[in-house]
Each structure stands twice: as C-alpha cells, then as structure tokens.
Structure 1
Amino acid sequence: MIANARMYAVTPEAEVAWQEIIARVSAEVGANLEYLAYPAPQPLEPLWRRPDLGCVFMCGYPIALQLADVIPIAAPIPDAPWAAGRAVYRSDLIVRHDAPFETLEDTFSGRVGWTVDHSHSGFNALRHHLLPYRSPERPQVYAQATGNLVTARRILDEVLAGSIDIGPLDGYWNMLIRRWKPELTAGIRTLASTEVAPMPAFVASAGADPGLVAALRAAFAAAKDQSWFPALAEPLLITGFQPMELADYALTLEWDLTAKNAGYPVPA
C-alpha cells in the first residue's frame, strides 16, 4: 500500500519530514507502506481514488462528500494558538502587503479567487465566511470571482501578481510556507481568518485491513510521546496527531448545506 503527504509537502525538506514520520509510525505497527512521490501539478483526485491507499493526506470536505471511498486515520494538530491542541485548521484570507485594505469589507468591490469546489480551505470555508455579508440587495459580495485556481500556491501567486485582490490560504499550509519559504510570503498579509474546521487527515482505502487502520490510528496518537517525534514535529509545526472518523467531518457538510440553502453556491 502507498503513502503520500503531498497536501502539506510544501518543500522537498518538508516532504522528507513527513515521509520520516510515516515511516516511523508504520514501523510501529509493522506496516509495509511505499512512499509514492506525487508532485504538483498532478491532480489529487486520482490519487485519492486509488485502491491501495495506506496513509495519504486528504482534505476533510471531500472526505465528508465521499468523493473517494476512504477511511480517515489521523490528522495533525497544528502548533498554533487557534488550534488549541485540536486537529483543526482555518483559512487565512490574504491580500498583498501593500494593498490599501484594512478590513474584509474594504475588498468587496474587488476580485476574489478560490481553488476548487471540493476544497474546504480554498472554497467551502471562504463561502461560509462570506455568507453573513450577503443581503437581498447584494447577493454577491465581490465584483469579480476567479475560480478553479486549484492550489494554495496558485492563490498566493495570483494575490502577489495582483490578478486577484484576496484569496483563501489553508492556515496550516500558510504556517508551513512561511516557515520554509519566507521569501514567498513577505509580500502578503492575512486580512481575516475563518472559523476553524477539522483538519485534513491521513486516509486509507476502504478496502484496507481494519486492524491496520486501527493500529495506525493508535500509533499516530502515541507519536507525540516517542523519542523521535520532537525533531520531526518542529519543522512541520505540529504537536501531535488526533485519530479521526468520517463523522468528524460533518461540519463541512453543514457549512455546504447552509450556503446552498441561502442561494450562495460559490464564493463570489
């Protein structure tokens, strides 16, 4: 079975740390997982639908939507005050550092971007955050919306280039890219952040041995107490892992339904 940490492998160095954590955890349970390199811009959906997933990062919203037949294993706990020791994350709504905006409302006459319509951090969380700002007189809060930018890095690049005025970054991804590539984030700032929601998780294919899944959940949960953990956790800005189940991602579906019932299918 395969393993992959593409979602949060923001640099080759970060990917090596993820690969080592997976190797350590899988060794604890005697699992033989082959790490598969799967760099961008290859689409994640075909990866998630493979029948041989053993430990692969997947966004919580498509987990809840059951876009692929998978079983959540565990999610990382970001080393951030807003996580409060939980496997949660938020979306940071970023603008150029030199932009004139002081509040989120200041951006509403401009251009917003989003990633893909099954992304929580790049679509669902943004849409939920914008929902209270709509009114019958203003069903759309932005003058222009650009969708299908696909990746967090593309959001970052488009904001820096001035192609969009504001866009959502996975808050944990934002932490990691600032840690590993500060030159990329020197030109942006976070104007607002969404409420927190359950973190993306490592998942296994639905056909995986239930005993293996249970063992991996337990091993990830215990990782924080292992002697090898601190040296790998520090560069990845995590404090541990939380076992996850499908039901833990129900909040993403609630946000989805609320927006659609309000007649707001896409963030615009």
Structure 2
Amino acid sequence: MTGRPPAPRYVANARMYSPAPGAAAAWKGLFAWLARESGVDLDVVDHAFPLALSDLWARKDLGAAFMCGFPFMLTGDRPRPVAAPIPSGALYGGKPVYATRLAVGANTRFQSLEDTFGGRLGYTASDSHSGYNALRHHLLPYFKRHGAKLYQKSVGPLTTPRRVIEALLAGDIDVGPLDSYALDLMLRHDPALASQIRVVATTDLAPIPFLVAAADCPDEIITRLQATLLTLAAAPACAPLRDRLCLDTFAPVDIAVYDLMLRWDNEARCVGYAQPR
C-alpha cells in the first residue's frame, strides 16, 4: 500500500520589490504567511541581479513572483496572474497603480526635468515599463516639440532601481527613472537616501506589476493564493508586514487595463521615438 504523493511545492520571489534588505526580509515574511493561510507550499528563492527575470517568469514551478505588465503584454507565452499590490500613500489612491519618479542627485544644479536636457539619461531595460516605456512616454511631448535628441547620451540597461540610484550618486547619469513603489520601499528601509536624491518629475499613473504563477499552475492553486492575498488588509497579524512593505493590500488583476502600456509604446514608435534619448 502506497501513501499519497507529496503535495507540489511552488516558488515565490519578490525581487522586483526587494530594493533593500529590510524589504526582502518583509516579503519573505509575507510569503510565509501566504503559504500558511492558503495551504500552498511556497519556497522563497533568490533570483538576484544579474540573473534574468525572464528565466524566473518561465519557471514551471512558479507560484508567486512579481512581473512587470509591459513584458507580460509583449510575451506570447504568458504566466497566470495572481494578484496586484495596492501600495499605501496618496499617490496610489487605493488602487493597484504606480508611476515613475524621475530623480537627480540632491547636490546637482538640476531643479526640473528640463534642466537635465543635454545631459545623460539612465534607463533600466527596454522591456521595463517604469524604467523605459513610462519614461519615454513622459519625454514624448518634449521630443515632439524639439524634434531631436533630448539627451547627449542614454546610459543602460541599468536593470534595477537600486542601480539607477547608484549611477546617479556616482555621477554616471544626470537623471534616471525609479519605480515609485520601489522608491517608497527604499526610503522606508534606507531613510538617509532622501537626502541624496531629488525627484524632479513624476509620470502619469499606470497599472502596477503583479504576482504571477506558471502558465500551467492549477486553477485551485491560483484561487487559494489570490483569495488569501485579498484578505491581507483584514489580517491583524500582517499589520507590521504591511507597514514594512508600504502596502495596503492586494487586488485582482484586470489584464485589460495593461493595454495602456502597449498604447504608450505604439505612440512613441509611431513618431520615431523608439528609445528614450
């Protein structure tokens, strides 16, 4: 007589929103709560830079990992949406949205985005919304007005918000894009950063990166994970985690709203502005 086969285990990862050790530790705590409350076995795996996020998203045992909506919309082999975070703060208005903060070094002469024109522009990756697509969309009216390159040089791919800040502080770029939620987390866990950078512009809001599971993850697993995440705001034991993660709760993912990212991409390409420059 044989026993039951062991329950499948799934992997979880919050690399996109682990820009500081304190944030990474808090996500591990949240995933532990999620596994306990949902009954889904989750193993938190490290998948740090320079490992490719595309390899993480392609894992067959993926249970919960953050994915940007832009590459999600561009790929033909999509993982399954689980839930989208609703960050805390006035910018987000209680919705699963975010923006890009355009930052400069605090000790530089730049007081506005226009002051940085002619300098060096950083970007994260060409398939990033916050670090490329939203940046380009924000610069598009200036590009149309000037009809030429706005910057002397584009520097990238810098890949992560943390590396954008490192490039700013090293003087390698004059202005760079920062995912607003990632910046919130960096400032929460590294308050001294507030005196080192200055935000000179903020892009329009867009739907935020969300947790995804493998394309063939069973419906039951998706349902259990999502149902548990949607209770986060009402879970008293999670109050410290919510504080450390600058997070209100999670919401269901509405894929239709992510068409915005494709529209912004198309608008830029139609006028010959394929790369922010």
Distance 1:14 1:72 in 2: 22
Q: Post-superposition shift, 1:227?
A: 1.7
What's the TM-score, normalizing by structure 2? 0.92
Counterpart of 1:254 in structure 2 is 263
Counterpart of 1:167 in structure 2 is 176
Q: Which runs of 4+ in 1 moved over 6 A?
A: none
Distance 1:238 1:139 in 2: 40
Aligned residues between the structures: 268
Question: Using a 3 Å threshold, how does the CA distance of structure 1 residues 200 and 137 change in structure 2: closer, same or farther?
Answer: closer
Question: Using a 3 Å threshold, how does the CA distance of structure 1 residues 218 and 105 change in structure 2: closer, same or farther?
Answer: same
Which has the larger displacement, 146-155 or 35-44?
A: 35-44
Matched, 1:217 2:226: yes
Q: What do residues 100-134 of structure 1 show as CA deviations (whole Å, max 9, x unaligned)? A: 12221111121111011001111011000000111
Of the candidates 62, 66, 69, which is equivalent to residue 75 of structure 2?
66
- What letter corresponds to residue 162 of structure 2 in structure 1? R
Q: Post-superposition shift, 1:267?
A: 0.3
Distance 1:232 1:193 in 2: 27
Map residues 120-135 of structure 1 onto 2, 5 A cutoff.
120-135=129-144
Q: Does the residue aligned with 1:259 lie in a helix, a strand or coil?
A: helix
Matched, 1:98 2:107: yes
Counterpart of 2:35 in structure 1 is 26
Matched, 1:237 2:246: yes
Identity across aligned pairs (percent)?
Answer: 41
Distance 2:258 2:231 in 1: 22
CA contact (8 A) 1:48 1:68 kept: no
CA contact (8 A) 2:20 2:185 kept: no
Counterpart of 2:90 in structure 1 is 81
Counterpart of 2:7 in structure 1 is none
Distance 2:199 2:76 in 1: 30
Question: Using a 3 Å threshold, how does the CA distance of structure 1 residues 67 and 141 change in structure 2: closer, same or farther?
Answer: farther
Distance 1:87 1:135 in 2: 30
What's the TM-score, normalizing by structure 1? 0.95
Counterpart of 2:18 in structure 1 is 9
Of the candidates 166, 171, 195, which is equivalent to residue 186 of structure 1?
195
- What letter corresponds to residue 113 of structure 1 in structure 2? G
- What letter corresponds to residue 100 of structure 1 in structure 2? R
Map residues 41-56 of structure 1 onto 2, 5 A cutoff.
41-56=50-65
Counterpart of 1:156 in structure 2 is 165
Q: Does the residue aligned with 1:202 lie in a helix, a strand or coil?
A: strand
Matched, 1:141 2:126: no
Unpaired segments of 5 or more residues in structure 1?
Answer: none
Distance 2:76 2:48 in 1: 21
Q: Does the residue aligned with 1:83 lie in a helix, a strand or coil?
A: coil
Q: Post-superposition shift, 1:228?
A: 1.4
Unpaired segments of 5 or more residues in structure 2?
Answer: 1-9
Counterpart of 2:214 in structure 1 is 205
CA contact (8 A) 1:63 1:246 kept: no
CA contact (8 A) 1:2 1:35 kept: yes
CA contact (8 A) 2:19 2:161 kept: no
Distance 1:28 1:123 in 2: 37
Counterpart of 1:266 in structure 2 is 275
Q: Does the residue aligned with 1:203 lie in a helix, a strand or coil?
A: strand
- Considering only CA atoms, is the larger Rg found in Structure 1 or Structure 2? 2
Q: Does the residue aligned with 1:228 lie in a helix, a strand or coil?
A: helix
Q: Post-superposition shift, 1:62?
A: 1.0
- What letter corresponds to residue 80 of structure 2 in structure 1? I
Distance 1:128 1:203 in 2: 26
- What letter corresponds to residue 81 of structure 1 in structure 2? A
Q: What do residues 72-97 of structure 1 show as CA deviations (whole Å, max 9, x unaligned)? A: 11121111111000111111000011
CA contact (8 A) 2:169 2:196 kept: yes
- What letter corresponds to residue 160 of structure 1 in structure 2? L
Distance 1:67 1:183 in 2: 42
